[in-house]
Amino acid sequence: MALANKARYRFMKDVGAPALMALQGGLKKKRRRAANPDFGPPLKCAARLKEIMTRHYLLARYAQGAMPVAWVTSGAPVELLRVFGFYTVYPENHGALCGAQKMGPEICEEAEKAGYHPDLCSYARIDLGHFLSGKTPAGRLPKPDLLFASTNICQTVLYWYKALAHYWNIPLLLFDTPYNFAEITEHDLDYMTAQLKEMIPDLERLTGRDFSLERFQEIIRLAAQASSSWGQALATMQNRPAPMTIFDAFVHLAPVVSLRGLKVACDYYQELLAELQERAAQGIGALARERKRLMWDNIAVWYKLRDWSHLFAGRGYNFVAATYTNAWAETIQYLDPAQPFRSAAKTYSLVILNNNLNHRLGLMEKMIREYQVDGLVVHSARSCKPYSVGQYDMARLLKERLGIPSVIIEADIADYRIFSEEQANTRLEAFFEALEAQG
């Protein structure tokens, strides 16, 4: 059976997936939307991004039984799993996809029927609802052999993954990261490094494969390269006009989350970076006219991405920076193939959600200056309380220090049932007036 599954996966990878995607592209009537005068030319590599992510979800359907499968939280050091040949699925990416497809409430309700509270993170409810109902816009997700979670983004993931481990009766590996209240200590690094090394016998036992330090170092190198290129791509938005918007970046973030440590992610971000650098050199902006430059704080409101990209573009307002997209580049300088375990511990423990609020405030102030930001849009996300804590105070302090206006939008990342269009529009109108008053 295992040999048959492996043969089926190889066939789909080498023959079936390319043929199906080509057929789909040929059958689908290409509907050309009328060019929107508010936007500049679209990114050429968007087609390549769609191809990569479609292939990733398509092949995921055939991975079960052909190779070990792991479901992984976005903040976990996935590089270690790649040494053992895991096919990785990211429930948070899947939750964002469900949110963008406006399936969030429908799948959340499946979890709520089973007793999960509506105040629980909508990514968690979507994931649990998917487990209970099988509903997904991705066709089918493979059953995992392993769950891999890290506490560096929130504590919810621990209980969420514990529930999945119970339902499926499969192992859960946890990478526990002490919260960084001031400065990371050597003791903290020792503790986290030991955890990563202690996972190796379990992974060897589960997969039947031996750990290779050289392979781990190469994967660390690939991950560092992809994240570094992603950071450079974001930095091109310091140009005036910015060659990309944060609404674009929210979408182009997918490979550095889902495919980090793989060559395909490295190659893709080199392609994206080259295109953005060329656009910047030629003065090609993401918007037809860039009048104001904005920064976004928190995770995207996935079901409003298109609506809001048009709303802000129509006024000549371009989002050029975001704390969320920056999170996959901010600490990458610490990742070092020469010290793969300790450098991974440092890289993953210093991410924005595992760091103190003074650090976050300083980061936002630095980004506002570097990207020449005129205004701040803050998403107070009902689903992500660790990301939303302190936002009112930080917006006030940034106003006092830098004089930039801000608006706080109360919403959710994927469940639009709690979103008030009227309230958001009222707050945005007041924000637009404050921006225009700057001159």
Provide the residue ranges of all domains of the chain, joining segments of one domain with +: 2-13+38-437
Under DSSP, is residue 268 helix (H, G, I), strand (E, B) or coil?
A: helix
pLDDT band at 46 (very low <50, low <70, confident <90, very high): very high
Quick check: 25 pLDDT over 70?
Answer: no
C-alpha of 344 from chain center: 18
Quick check: 27 pLDDT over 80?
Answer: no
How many separate helices (H) and strands (E) can be counted in the chain?
A: 20, 8
Q: Are 142 and 60 in contact (CB under 8 A)?
A: yes
- What is the C-alpha to C-alpha distance for residues 192 and 185, in angstroms, rounded to an integer? 11
Higher pLDDT: 189 or 6? It is: 189
pLDDT band at 28 (very low <50, low <70, confident <90, very high): low
DSSP-assigned letter for residue 41: P
Under DSSP, is residue 84 helix (H, G, I), strand (E, B) or coil?
A: coil
- Choose the weakest-confidence range: 33-37, 43-47, 358-362, 393-397: 33-37
Burial 300-335 (b: 16+ CB within 10 A, else e): bbbbbbeebbeebbeeebbbbbbbbbbbbbbbbebb
Where does residue 214 rank: exposed (0-12), middle (13-18), buried (19+ CB within 10 A)? exposed
Measured CA to CA in angstroms, residue 188 lies from 87, 97, 194, 196, 313 at distances of 30, 35, 10, 13, 45
Q: What is the pLDDT of residue 352?
A: 94
Tokens 């371009």, located at residue: 318
Quick check: 227 pLDDT over 60?
Answer: yes
Quick check: 422 pLDDT over 80?
Answer: yes
What percent of the chain lies above the pLDDT cut of 90?
A: 86
pLDDT band at 24 (very low <50, low <70, confident <90, very high): low
Q: What is the pLDDT of residue 1?
A: 59
Higher pLDDT: 32 or 138? It is: 138
pLDDT band at 378 (very low <50, low <70, confident <90, very high): very high
Max Cα separation, the chain? 69
Measured CA to CA in angstroms, residue 60 lies from 23, 88, 98, 174, 251 at distances of 19, 8, 17, 23, 20
pLDDT band at 182 (very low <50, low <70, confident <90, very high): confident
For the chain, the average pLDDT equals 93
DSSP-assigned letter for residue 43: P
- What is the C-alpha to C-alpha distance for residues 274 and 431, in angstroms, rounded to an integer? 35
Which residues make Cβ contacts (< 8 Å) with residue 353, sequence separation at least 6?
75, 152, 153, 154, 327, 386, 387
Give the count of alpha carbons within 13 A of 411, CB side only.
Answer: 26
Q: What is the pLDDT of residue 4?
A: 75
What percent of the chain lies above the pLDDT cut of 70?
A: 96
Question: What residue type is 83 in one-letter code?
Answer: V
Tokens 């089918």, located at residue: 140
State mean pLDDT over 257-272.
97
Q: For residue 410, give the nearest of 418, 400, 399 by alpha carbon.
A: 418
Q: What is the pLDDT of residue 183?
A: 86
E strand or H helix that includes residue 49: helix 46-63
**Residue range 119-173, pLDDT digits in tens:** 999 999 999 999 999 999 988 889 999 999 999 999 999 999 999 999 999 999 9
Burial 124-139 (b: 16+ CB within 10 A, else e): bbbbbbbbeeeebebe
pLDDT band at 14 (very low <50, low <70, confident <90, very high): confident
State mean pLDDT over 265-290.
98
Tokens 């290129």, located at residue: 229
Q: What is the pLDDT of residue 139?
A: 83
* Two structure tokens written together for 281: 């050199």
- What is the C-alpha to C-alpha distance for residues 329 and 224, in angstroms, rounded to an integer? 9
Q: How far apart are the first and last CA of the chain?
A: 69
Question: What residue type is 72 in one-letter code?
Answer: V
Q: What is the pLDDT of residue 206?
A: 96
Q: What is the pLDDT of residue 69?
A: 97
Q: What is the pLDDT of residue 282?
A: 98
Q: Are 250 and 319 in contact (CB under 8 A)?
A: no
Q: What is the pLDDT of residue 12?
A: 72
Q: For residue 66, give the nearest of 145, 144, 5, 140 by alpha carbon.
A: 5
